[in-house]
Chain A
């Protein structure tokens, strides 16, 4: 094995060292262009990112101001009585939930969402509405209902899809949501609802719970409940 021991490396025709070794196993490279990529000659600001112009010139830029960040995914691969998603809900002004291929173990069921605070499930103060029949009001305040007509009805179980945007998680705020849900009825035709709701309370919301009336989540459809944070600035 060969080893070359040096402190500096420079070209014969150059005036400065191209590579300087500090004696502790590290080196400094005196170059702004490496492998045809030209790096900035000075540091950027905190939290900035490096971008390329597509021709090898790199520069520091601020990160995109508006963004959607994935927070968590619950993959439903086993039968489950309910699904709980815990989160501080204090980083983003808006949170978004996607329900994908969610299925109940029984037909003719409704899907519900319930807010959770530091004491666990909240079982009051929920109000929700669906777009059917000029806006059907669900007076039940124990939870938010996410569909107007029962999914599947007399059919075998049907997959449920939805997108829900939520805001107002902090203490003494009104948790609000709007969303769209899609499912199927016994005639085979698709059903869908524009849904919305609100929940007044004094405690901050630190979790959400999803469950079916009279049934459980099926693990047979690789259903998912995905949480995103949405930044608006």
Chain B
């Protein structure tokens, strides 16, 4: 089934070359997410730096490492 795109507000069918480029982009993004998606997942779930410092102050380094490990285990490296 052919794909279409808008070029200056006109719906135009992709050429064979554009279809190939579209698929290549989609494949590249899928591969990037598979390889690096865990980084963003981890980054968005780590506690804030302020909360991490507070945790270290009150509970020590081991408690902090345990907290960080929760996120690392939840989103493992592929």
Contacts and interface: CB of A to CB of B under 8 A. Distances in A.
B3 A72 contact: no
Contacts of A134: 49
B40 A84 contact: no
Contact of B6 (A74, A148, A213, A214): A74
A79 B21 CA distance: 17
Given A142-B28, A214-B29, A214-B30, A78 B44 contact: no
Given A82-B5, A148-B40, A149-B40, A213 B11 contact: no
Contacts of A75: 9
A125 interface: no
A79 B9 contact: no
A110 to B, nearest CB: 8
Interface residues of B, number: 23
Contacts of A78: 4, 11
Q: Per DSSP, are chain B's interface residues mostly helix, strand or loop, or mixed? A: helix
B73 interface: no
A125 to B, nearest CB: 16
Contacts, number: 61
Given A133-B44, A149-B40, A72 B32 contact: no
Contacts of A72: 8-9
A84 B26 contact: no
A83 B3 CA distance: 12
Interface string B26-69: 10111011000000100110100100000000000000000000
Contacts of A136: 40, 43
B26 A213 contact: yes
Contacts of B33: 213-214
A136 B41 CA distance: 12
Nearest to B49: A134
17 contacts: A74-B8, A78-B11, A81-B14, A81-B22, A82-B5, A84-B5, A84-B8, A121-B21, A132-B44, A133-B43, A136-B40, A142-B28, A148-B40, A148-B44, A213-B30, A214-B26, A214-B29
